[in-house]
A and B are shown apart, each in its own frame.
Chain A
């Protein structure tokens, strides 16, 4: 097999739980020696209960959280700590992920301008990005609170894609949406994958969504990867039977 696009090796993360004055400090092992390779163009799902470490892993992969131990590799090169424009993240709650005091145009154009992808007028760039996620370019002058939940989710995706990432990390990106809007966003992610050749890491507690979108599924439990399987083969899991009931 050829070189993976992204490789996380032996990632561990512990959080210190301060119990209060003169109490013994205890640590929570959020991630315990987790390794994960993502190949270009692949869609991989991470499922697990609350507290299984899936969001911590997502934040470490996106470079938003330096791990206690372990390394990240991009096309075989070791990555320093910190975010990079090749890896972008889409969050669950677009309402809190988007700056409420910035217009849609500013939200989308800020990072690309810093990375030198826009010089001069930004309106054409913003219009292109909005059309790509199926939004009317007229919305560029709105503030996040003037958008519907589905529109905000699309802006969250447009913002992430504006710096031309190759890997998109979606942390429960559709969990808060009604089923019809969820279906629209899932279709959009499929379409963007095809058009842009995106690699997708999709974190969700909903096995149905993951099975629909991803070819490979990683199951996490208590900070470890306990199973990796092709998406179609996960039906026998205890969690699958719970989510069906």
Chain B
């Protein structure tokens, strides 16, 4: 059984007459101990997918369809009260800005102890000991002193570690990480990646890693899902997708990374911008920018197999199924 199973998740933004179709029939699953990277540009719907799984969509964002199953339980049918009990317990989320998680006017100790006691019947001092051990596990030096600190007294990297500690403290089965390393420099980024990688090996946590950085996905994820204009356009094992992309959009993303061409020569770019999604364009959403587009692309391409454990949403993929 998968830890997480999402079927046909559809999210609209705005009024019911002409909503933006921000996420369209996204399906994904994550196994125990697996890291799945959800990759895409700003506005591709990757963050909304993560928020919807955590049940954190607020108007004008609306989930208009789809099922979200966590450990066999249908989250999409749960009332908000029940959902609250799952968040921070069975599933937890880390954001790009740790201050989105941390309360600026409470000590770290208060916040971690509160997180534990909201979900488990643990005494105050036992909870404090757990918080201390957790800070140590996420690599915070002098954890006893840091427990007494307020968030503003910590550096950016340390704050992100505390946010991660708060997310992991109740041993969630699923961790949703939305660009938690984007604002950090490369050294810290590598440390945070190593930290989460170690944790999921030790505890079997399933990880949904949302990022726009294919480099991060490459070194860390087992599988990668590429999103464009609200749809998953390609999925498969990380190494194979990044080595031989099937969808022209994935190929374009890889070609735009400095280092893919000799220094000084122009990087491959795409003309135009992602399409407006209210309403979404007919047919293939990537058609207008695609170097391989043909007349057939007026029709919407289905998601088809592209080799072992791979799918692609394209009539003319770069990799043909064997």
Contacts and interface: CB of A to CB of B under 8 A. Distances in A.
B256 A149 contact: no
B210 to A, nearest CB: 13
Contact of B185 (A49, A150, A209, A232): A49
A183 B269 contact: yes
A190 B266 contact: yes
Contacts, number: 77
A50 B187 CA distance: 9
A212 B190 contact: no
Interface stretch (A69-77, A99-107, A110-118, A237-245): A237-245
A211 B41 contact: no
B214 A179 contact: yes
B267 A186 contact: yes
Interface in B201-228: 212-215, 219
Nearest to B212: A178
Interface stretch (B22-30, B97-105, B257-265): B257-265
B136 to A, nearest CB: 23
A205 B185 CA distance: 7
A231 B263 CA distance: 9
Contact of A149 (B42, B213, B264, B268): B42
A164 B96 CA distance: 38
B258 A211 contact: yes
Interface residues of B, number: 31
B190 A242 contact: yes
Interface residues of A, number: 29
Contacts of A242: 186-187, 190
Interface in B240-261: 252-253, 255-259, 261
Nearest to B193: A245
A212 B257 CA distance: 10
Contact of B269 (A180, A211, A243, A244): A180
14 contacts: A50-B185, A179-B256, A183-B267, A183-B268, A184-B269, A205-B185, A206-B186, A208-B257, A208-B258, A208-B259, A213-B263, A239-B186, A242-B186, A242-B190
Given A49-B187, A179-B257, A183-B257, 4 more contacts: A50-B156, A183-B256, A211-B263, A242-B190
Interface of B: 41-42, 156, 184-188, 190, 193, 212-215, 219, 252-253, 255-259, 261, 263-264, 266-270, 273
In the A-B complex, the 3 residue pairs with the closest CB atoms? A212-B258, A183-B256, A183-B267
